Chain A
């Protein structure tokens, strides 16, 4: 009984982390699907989202606002606006001028951008980690056995619900809206979409903005879940999310969701049954193994190299 409870607890924790990975992974997968580059700075955008959310929460607390839903909504909006602007600006400054050159050039530019943003926040806000107030406290507890209780915190429920809403909205947006249709067209054939009168530059910008907004949501959620932020917070999370995107098949949005959940569960199982220190090793090993044996991921389409 206890074993089963312990397993379920790890599963819940894993799905919680995994759903936020999925949110970040969407940014990677959409950008890759359209212009075929790895947006290395995406993890930093997520980190900036978390910082902005914390700044907004602290600002509201200073102003004396105490109504929780208002605080959360304002923080979320601020984080999404700042992150989206950041995503737009990064694309404009670092990626658009090098688009279409040799594959490595945008990637190196992205790495430079990632280092730049990390140090930008580091210089402005200090390198120490800052405590994130636990706004959503408490948990459901059930099924105790031999002193072990299965707990599902309200925070975890919030994460599930928010992720679910985001994913639903995104799916509807991609499948129904005009921009969503244009996004799909551009990801299938950029040149052809351009010929048919789609402003591809705008669509590419839109992709970056959407990805950044989702990363900001993840930033707020994970910031509250972990209880602290620091400038290096985005690097590992970004790598994990990239792993999730590759796992699900890069370029595919349902794949990113699936990959995020699988990765989250794999990680929490490792830290639950082996040791917390090796959970990153498991994530990276998983990445290497997938790329070796199924480079297209679980739901991805094979890529044919044309001459």
Chain B
């Protein structure tokens, strides 16, 4: 047993070295037109060696270690506690949510402009993640091209405002509806496909949209993007120092207060907040409606759901369309916040980040997804010096979550009837 383990452990250690050393230990450097090779610093080499030793030791004593780990008392003291009664839990959850929303409403008036700006971005991601949660978490359709619908929303607003001078409030429903239409048109043919094929096709679709935006220079401006996207107005009041459009008034003059750039930022934040709350509430209702139940039924067992008379296409299509609709929402807000958009913002990586949020938060769970969106957006900002490692950590986190906790950090809990315990 030990001899077998020893061979295996040695093999694992060698593989670790082989995998790590050439890429980490030997760096390619461009010297003019030629390429040179430089050895990495000693720290890296030691780190690689230590990693190999750790892998060796772990593999050698794997069985003992695993057994010891199994016997260890649970670190989490709450692990064995009785689950909270459902009525109490639902009540508490709604109180907590209301508290968070009230706090979020008043919070921007006391903090810096930069934080409010960041919070707006967080809310955009919350909207995106909630929308994708419907598609991936509830309906179980892996959509890797979700960012395409986001792009449709953003570009709808940008193009309409550029060519037809349409305002934010007109563009918001239009962008969302157009994105939903895209979802419907794309979804109709491809939803017959099985899970993993669907993932690749949506990925291809996302890339096609991006390439088209990049190359259709006459309309979209290509890689240069579109600038000068107007900010939202409050009943015809603009937030700039001077009024840009005829017939509008400016916010600070109407209320007789001094002009401040913060008004605009806070107003955008509040719009994003309201939209995010609307998104969450609508999806919350939908989850409890027959259509929401049908999504989950189809996710759990397609054959059983179909034999109970659910139309596969209609159910999947509704999830796809609704997901796309909220991505369009988020896209419009994003375009308005940035004032400038280009295809750069809608690459596959963005889809992957949104997917990571949904996966980390717990597929299907709304609260989990919201918290994950906050964490994923804010943590890299807090740890700026580690921002290079952000995607590395995302990738690793996605793998680890799938291995250890595929249900996510805060798994979804379905409303259910509890049986009384027999005395």
Task: Please judge, given known A-B contacts A104-B195, A131-B35, A305-B303, whether A119 and B395 are in contact too, CB under 8 Å.
Answer: yes
Q: Is the CB of A242 within 8 A of B190?
A: no
Q: Is the CB of B190 within 8 A of A115?
A: no
Q: Is the CB of A105 within 8 A of B22?
A: no
Q: Does A295 contact B (CB under 8 A)?
A: yes
From A58, A114, A118, A121, name the one whose CB has the most chain B CB atoms within 10 angstroms. A58
Q: Is the CB of B348 within 8 A of A108?
A: no
Q: Mark B179-223, 1 if CB is under 8 A from A, else 0.
A: 000000000011011111101110111011001101100000000
Task: Please judge, given known A-B contacts A54-B35, A112-B397, whether A125 and B28 are in contact too, CB under 8 Å.
Answer: yes
Q: Does B26 contact A (CB under 8 A)?
A: yes
Q: Is the CB of A124 within 8 A of B406?
A: no
Task: Please judge, given known A-B contacts A94-B399, A104-B195, A131-B33, whether A82 and B204 are in contact too, CB under 8 Å.
Answer: no
Task: Please judge, given known A-B contacts A116-B399, A123-B392, A278-B215, whether A239 and B203 are in contact too, CB under 8 Å.
Answer: yes
In Å, the complex CA distance between A38 and B208 comes to 21
Closest chain B residue to A288, Cβ basis: B201
Residues of the B chain whose Cβ atoms lie less than 8 Å from the Cβ of A82: 18-19, 22-23
Q: Is the CB of B402 within 8 A of A108?
A: yes
Q: Is the CB of B15 within 8 A of A89?
A: yes
In Å, the complex CA distance between A186 and B313 comes to 34
Q: Mark A42-60, 1 if CB is under 8 A from B, else 0.
A: 0000001001101110110
Q: Does B147 contact A (CB under 8 A)?
A: no
Q: Is the CB of A94 within 8 A of B23?
A: no
In Å, the complex CA distance between A288 and B202 comes to 9
Q: Say which residue of B35, B212, B303 sits within 8 Å of A58 (CB atoms).
A: B35
Residues of B165-186 at the interface with A, using a CB-CB cut-off of 8 Å, are none
Q: Is the CB of A288 within 8 A of B394?
A: no
Interface size on B, residues (CB 8 A): 61
In Å, the complex CA distance between A284 and B207 comes to 8
In Å, the complex CA distance between A82 and B21 comes to 9
Q: Is the CB of A123 within 8 A of B389?
A: yes
Q: Is the CB of A38 within 8 A of B200?
A: yes
Closest chain A residue to B403, Cβ basis: A97
Q: Does B84 contact A (CB under 8 A)?
A: no
Residues of the A chain whose Cβ atoms lie less than 8 Å from the Cβ of B248: none
Residues of the A chain whose Cβ atoms lie less than 8 Å from the Cβ of B37: 55, 58-59, 62
Residues of the B chain whose Cβ atoms lie less than 8 Å from the Cβ of A141: none
Task: Please judge, given known A-B contacts A103-B196, A107-B195, A119-B391, whether A281 and B211 are in contact too, CB under 8 Å.
Answer: yes
Q: Is the CB of A89 within 8 A of B399?
A: no
Closest chain B CB from A64 CB (angstroms): 13
Closest chain B CB from A296 CB (angstroms): 11
Closest chain B CB from A56 CB (angstroms): 8
Residues of the A chain whose Cβ atoms lie less than 8 Å from the Cβ of B195: 103-104, 107
Closest chain B CB from A195 CB (angstroms): 23
In Å, the complex CA distance between A263 and B303 comes to 34
Q: Does A138 contact B (CB under 8 A)?
A: no
Q: Say which residue of A48, A107, A246, A284 sits within 8 Å of B199 (CB atoms).
A: A107
Top 7 A-B pairs, shortest CB-CB distance: A112-B398, A116-B395, A115-B395, A284-B204, A109-B402, A119-B392, A112-B399
Q: What is A's interface to B at a CB cutoff of 8 Å?
A: 37-38, 48, 51-52, 54-56, 58-59, 62, 78, 81-82, 85-86, 88-89, 93-94, 97-98, 101-109, 111-126, 128, 130-131, 133, 235, 239, 242-243, 246, 275, 277-278, 280-281, 284-285, 287-288, 291-292, 295, 305, 307
Q: List 24 A-B contacts (CB under 8 A).
A: A51-B23, A54-B28, A55-B23, A58-B37, A104-B136, A105-B406, A107-B142, A107-B195, A108-B398, A109-B398, A111-B352, A111-B398, A112-B396, A112-B397, A112-B401, A121-B23, A123-B388, A124-B27, A242-B200, A246-B197, A280-B207, A281-B212, A288-B205, A292-B190
**Extra A-B contacts (6), CB below 8 Å, given A124-B27, A288-B204, A291-B193:** A59-B37, A82-B23, A93-B399, A98-B406, A239-B203, A281-B211
Q: What is B's interface to A at a CB cutoff of 8 Å?
A: 15-16, 18-19, 22-24, 26-28, 30, 33-37, 136, 140, 142, 144, 189-190, 192-197, 199-201, 203-205, 207-208, 211-212, 214-215, 303, 348-349, 352, 355-356, 359, 388-389, 391-392, 394-399, 401-403, 406
